[in-house]
Amino acid sequence: MSGSVVLLNLAGAVALLLYATRMVRTGVERAYGDVLRQKLRSTMQNPLMAIILGTALAVALQSSTAVTLLVGSFAGAGIVSGMAGQLAVRGAEIGSALVVKVLSFDLSLLVPILIAAGTGIFMTTERRAWRQFGRILVGIGLMLLSLELIGQASEPLRDSSLMPVIINYFSGDPVTAYLLAALVTWLFHSSIAGVLLIVQLAGRGLIPSELGIVLVLGVNLGSSIIAPLLTRNAPPEVRVVPIGNLLMRGLGSLVMLTAFLTFKPSPALLGSTVPDQIINAHILFNVVVLLAGLPFSRLVYRASQALVALNTPPKPAEPLEMVELSALNEADLGTPSQALANATREVVRVCEIVEIMLTTIFELYEHADQAKMKALAALDDRVDAKTAAIKLYLAKATIQQMTEDEALRYQELLGACVKLEQVGDIIVRNMLVHVQKKAQRKLEFTPEGWSELAAFHATVLANARLAFNVLISRDPDSARQLVIEKDRLRDFEKATSTSHFERLREGAAKSMETSTIHLDTIRDLKQINSLLTSMVYPVLEGQGLLHKSRLKAS
């Protein structure tokens, strides 16, 4: 077999390993990402738990880099401290090393079982969690298969006359071998793939244990560089954890390389076979870095902050037109009338954001622009942040000094915050999902269906604007008109649903394809309308125009 064919087979096997690793990681993130994030938030305050959780996350995600990026983002958001984040990353490196150990065993019998079971689960259910679980099983099966293929592809290299020359060269120049392993790992974006490749080649007798240990140290250097490069344009708070990992793991690998080349300890202390010696060296290195780093964790954290600060350009002054001042003046909290007026101004700003979101989401139904979709999700984050600030501000207000009318206004503003937040969630978590599904499946509404949706949306948007006006004016006639419009919308919904089902009975293909999206969108818009209408109920109750949830007869 020619050398080019051998390298082609080896490249294909390595590519399958990288793809399978990513497949497992994305499957875990999609199925259990929210649960993992919640666990991370709740347990990261304890240093020991941070290490354990980091280890578990690396095993689940098959990537210490993914854990570093996740923890870095949480540290940037202030959810966890930077020091706790660095400890979690230390645990993640150990978890990544343990994954290599497990995958080094002969698990070839599991390959057909995992692929068959995973494919069966993925193909026979529509439940998201189960489909992703099937994806994870297939990914693990492909990882094991790729390791077999790497071994088979590298087998002809044992008889190559060139291979001993290359090995001898790198054995005599460990620094170059160390740097080459770091470069290859950075290209792979996976320390697991890098170490497994070394182990497979060592198992075929192609790499001696001393060179393998040097290469493993290079893999750890390369892995520590990935996250800092991926976050180089992120906010400074996000970059502290990856930089800390680079200081600990990257410099640690350099120190260990120097010690290994100086004292030349016997690799036999790490195991009876060359693959075992290389894997155990990888695990031992990360354990040593963790233990050695514990007493210096605070120093490393401060050094990370200093390095990030050196590489952070001064923040340019924000243009005046982009400056957004908060009306929530703490000095006015002792004067209820002023505090309520301030809160009202902020609630009005939230109303404006929600109106933009409600307008934009329907534009996305017509054209699913990715930039607009990201901007819409960012607007929901702004709504959440603003409503949280308003609720906190109102909670600090002196309720005891309020008149009865002021206390009612206080409750009205709190209720408006909750409802506006819920509207934003419906738009992003429900309607935006419909937009993505419609775009992914390249579906189109029938002209009649699209016309009905557009009319329904226009009615809800008009009602939203009316509700926002009533929140300011507290005009009972406008409030009464909004509740009447709610009843009309209920009738409109019934007529729209009837028309939609008639098209289904007539067998309109497009109606069948978009039926779920159509009905779910109508339901979401109706729910939004109900939430916004309920914002004006206090005005009607104050005028004695409302019996529980129904208008009095005029």
CA 537, CA 539: separation in Å to the nearest integer?
5
Determine if the pTM surpasses 0.75: no
DSSP symbols for 338-387: HHHHHHHHHHHHHHHHHHHHHHHHHHHHHS--HHHHHHHHHHHHHHHHHH
In the predicted structure, residue 41 carries a pLDDT above the cut 50:
yes
- For the stretch 190-240, pLDDT in tens is 888 889 889 988 988 889 999 999 999 999 999 999 889 888 887 888 888
Q: Provide φ and ψ at 160, rounded to 5°.
A: -75, 135
- For the stretch 141-155, pLDDT in tens is 998 898 888 878 877
pLDDT for 398 equals: 65
- For residues 84 and 45, is the Cβ–Cβ distance under 8 A? yes
In the predicted structure, residue 308 carries a pLDDT above the cut 80:
yes
328-348 residues labelled b (16+ CB within 10 A) or e (exposed): beeebbeebeebbebbbebbe
Amino acid letter, 392 = L
- For residues 541 and 448, is the Cβ–Cβ distance under 8 A? no
> Which residues are bridge partners to 551 per DSSP?
546
- For residues 258 and 268, is the Cβ–Cβ distance under 8 A? no
Q: Which H or E run includes 454?
A: helix 447-473
Please give the structure tokens belonging to residue 80: 């966890």
Q: How confident is the model at residue 321 (pLDDT cuts 50, 70, 90)?
A: very low
- For the stretch 57-113, pLDDT in tens is 788 776 788 788 777 766 765 556 777 788 888 888 898 889 889 888 888 888 999
